[in-house]
Amino acid sequence: MTTMRDMTPYVVGRAVPIDPGASGQDGSSRAGCSVDSSWAVTMLRIRHFELKINELFARGEVRGTAHLCVGQEAVPTGVCAALRSDDYVSATHRGHGAAIAKGLSLYGMFSEILGRRDGYGAGRGGSQHIACMEKGFLGTNGISGGGLPVSVGAALSSKRLGLGRVAVAFFGDGVANQGAFHEALNMAGIWRLPIVFVCENNLYAMSAPVSSFVAGGSIARRAESYGMRHDSIDGNDVGQVFEASRRFVDLARSGEGPGLLECLTYRQLGHSKSDKRAYRTREEEAAWLKRDPIARERRRLDGAGIMPAADFDAMESRVVAEVASEAERALACQAADVSTLYDHVVPEAAAKTCGGITCPS
């Protein structure tokens, strides 16, 4: 296949080079690439949701930790734009973007992360346990690679029941060496399931550069062992992500089996809130900031005559206001009631004793 396989393999200590002519990294319109202004709205909502969570965390409003996808917005936006509303998606611990792109509400997500009763899990799960079956969103996941077998199960059910739905399993580069990754791809390949595995390769598994733990220089090519199609693309180009995703999704839906799409991208912030990013250089970060997916889309929409830069900026201001409003609504929502902690976990009778342990009153 085409695209970015001729890129220098994952190199320690410097940004992955991208061919400007292939990826449009200068913001120009890439030949043959779709352009849709709604993608910009989705990316902006993801970006400013994440920045607001970052702010709320700093204020002490968010308990635990937070894994933000700032800089990676083009991947969930482009992938989910290629899906039907009833298709399935499983996400990672860094899954807020996938949830928003699949249609979950900002208010419901803020409420869940803030431990409020109007959250998608009534405030019980937090950032890494957000799910919405009505939207086909199978959940963010605190276990690296935990969503892959779940999505394989969803794809199997779709095939056996004749539902015509496709499953997408997002995973990070660090998962590519786990048993669940290989087991999931093997089962999907054997049964020719309607599933697309999407690797959000942001070049680091926590602090470990991909080049230090991926033998062979390519995660995408590992799909060859399981007889499935694969491609490696510029994950900071939302149009390229959409086109590749649409191709893979359409093939999966038509009975042509699974595929693996590797999207090369970059998280602009740390792995989590406590990460000072000492393992990478500021020069590398600056190089990737020039490829920021939202800035590139702003230039592309302006250059294509679809949306002048001033209109884009006004749209971003509206998104910022929307995000701030939904966050304030969630902060005003009643906190989750601890007395309901065991609801929907064990049978009602057993919940009285919690297996011999006194429940909190």
141 lies in a domain?
Answer: yes
pLDDT of residue 66: 84
What is the domain-level CATH number for residue 36? 3.40.50.970
Whether 10 is in a domain gets the answer no
Domain-embedded: residue 17: no
The number of distinct structural domains making up the chain is: 1
Position 349 scores a pLDDT of 57
In a domain, 356, yes or no: no
- Of 53, 42, 152, 164, which is closest to residue 103 (Cα–Cα)? 42
pLDDT at residue number 56: 95
- Count other C-beta atoms under 10 Å from residue 335's C-beta: 11
The pLDDT score that the predictor gives to residue 346 is 72
Q: Is residue 2 part of a domain?
A: no
Tokens at residue 131, please? Answer: 């799910």
Compute the chain's Rg from CA coordinates: 20
Identify any residues that bridge with 169 across adjacent strands, giving them in sequence order. 90, 197
pLDDT of residue 35: 62
The whole-angstrom separation of Cα 235 and Cα 95 is 16
Residue 43 tokens read as 């990316």
| DSSP three-state, residue 151 | helix
Show the low-confidence residues of the chain (pLDDT under 70). Answer: 1-35, 348-361
- Between the alpha carbon of residue 35 and those of residues 20, 302, 317, the distances in Å are 18, 11, 21
Q: Which amino acid is at 296?
A: R
| Residue 338 structural domain | 32-351
Whether 345 is in a domain gets the answer yes
Please indicate, yes or no, if residue 144 is contained in any of the structural domains: yes
Sheet of 167-172, strands arranged across? 137-139, 88-90, 167-172, 195-201, 259-264, 229-234
pLDDT for the residue 147: 96
